[in-house]
Structure 1
């Protein structure tokens, strides 16, 4: 096939007289501590709107990929590397940021909250985990980002076992029930939920009990990721 020669000067000239805009990433970080769904928020450190509550984010450098910028923010913020991360949406309304013309690519992630990672690597940031029912007014369009991320989380959790990303490796059925009730902000029938989740065949019953809440204790389970991967290749659809 004949391909016309494209000169570098012709290509570069097409970018002349074009106004540059800033590109940023913002991260919606969800956590779960057996009591409720949490959101990690920060006090903004620079103008405009310094001192107001915000999601954590960063501008994308010219020499880095957008996804790499998001992972860098998450690594610097949490100190964790093996996180569930997914791109959410591009937010680019003209007047979304009074500081300049900024387009933000939002990412959402899930963290298992425990004693080891509750105190995250948030040097130079005033960071707080807040209950999802108590999320304050955030800067710019960050509340819109959070609302969209929650909707996406609910959609994913219904048809994929994504909720297990928020639980410890070993968990009880009451803890699993609490998680899904926190995600959907509603009560489930305990017996029906247990029946459905056990029917999937994706839980491994352990010969261990969690006795933190009672002397009798509750049986501990693990999610069988290998079995899920195997079934998924055969068209299995996880649904609760």
Structure 2
């Protein structure tokens, strides 16, 4: 058995997941009711402790699957929260992730989680430093989306340009000119126009598009020009 480091404190290490979803109108986060003390019954991010035999990434994937029923979804580690007094019970370091899912694919979890979607603009007070986690995750999402096509993870496989514009506007908290947004988005060359239309909003309808996933990795930097002032997100 390998020797342990001597004269070193022992901490618990957890992961917390900020789960972003989009319902066609609003960017949302998924919250649960905390099931144990301290702060039992308060709204919380989905989280848990890292097991001895797993990495932080594996723990985050396990916890996310237990909540959403989904596997292999987009998740990214973005920050480590390590303030000595962040957890009132004992010293706990939390590795935070944000995840992106299509709400329509989300499966309702068992009732023990009491999970509920809240608008990113209006959600309840959260335990510990979870509100800070959400704010930093939102900034990270905005910044990452300037050079990567990650926002498409929030959409169905087929989508319209008005739906895409609505998503970008809600993520960045701004308005885009319809004509300019469509022109810039199409100029990336990453949208594949489909033959069918969504006629739910009007008789004329709007064409569906799909993301060209085969080529978007090398061209995803083109999304940078869609954001008014990307430097403000740093």
Both structures adopt the same fold (TM-score exceeding 0.5): yes
Where does the alignment leave 5 or more consecutive residues of structure 1 unmatched?
1-7
Question: 1:127 Cα deviation (Å)?
Answer: 0.5
Q: What is the TM-score with the length of structure 2 in the denominator?
A: 0.91
Q: What does residue range 1-240 of structure 1 map to in structure 2 within 5 Å?
A: 12=3, 15-114=5-104, 116-117=105-106, 119-229=107-217, 231=219, 237-239=222-224, 240=226
Larger radius of gyration: 1
Note the C-alpha offset of 1:227: 2.2
- Partners of 1:149 and 1:120 lie apart in 2 by 23
1:173-215, CA deviations, whole angstroms, 9 ceiling, x for partnerless residues?
A: 0000000001001111111101100111111010000112222
Between the aligned partners of 1:145 and 1:122, the Cα distance in structure 2 is: 25
Contact kept? 1:76, 1:122, Cα under 8 Å? no
* Deviation readout 1:144-199 (Å, 9 max, x if unpaired): 00000000000011111111111110000000000000100111111110110011
Q: TM-score, normalised by structure 1?
A: 0.89
Q: CA RMSD in A?
A: 1.6
- Count how many residue pairs are aligned between Structure 1 and Structure 2: 225
Q: Is the 8 A contact 1:78 1:122 kept in 2?
A: no
Tell me by how many angstroms 1:113 deviates. 1.4
Matched residue of 2:145: which SS? helix
2:164 alignment partner, SS class: helix
Q: Give the deviation of 1:97 after TM superposition.
A: 0.5
- CA displacement at 1:64 relative to structure 2: 1.6
Post-superposition CA distance 1:29-49 (Å, at most 9, x none): 000011110000011111100
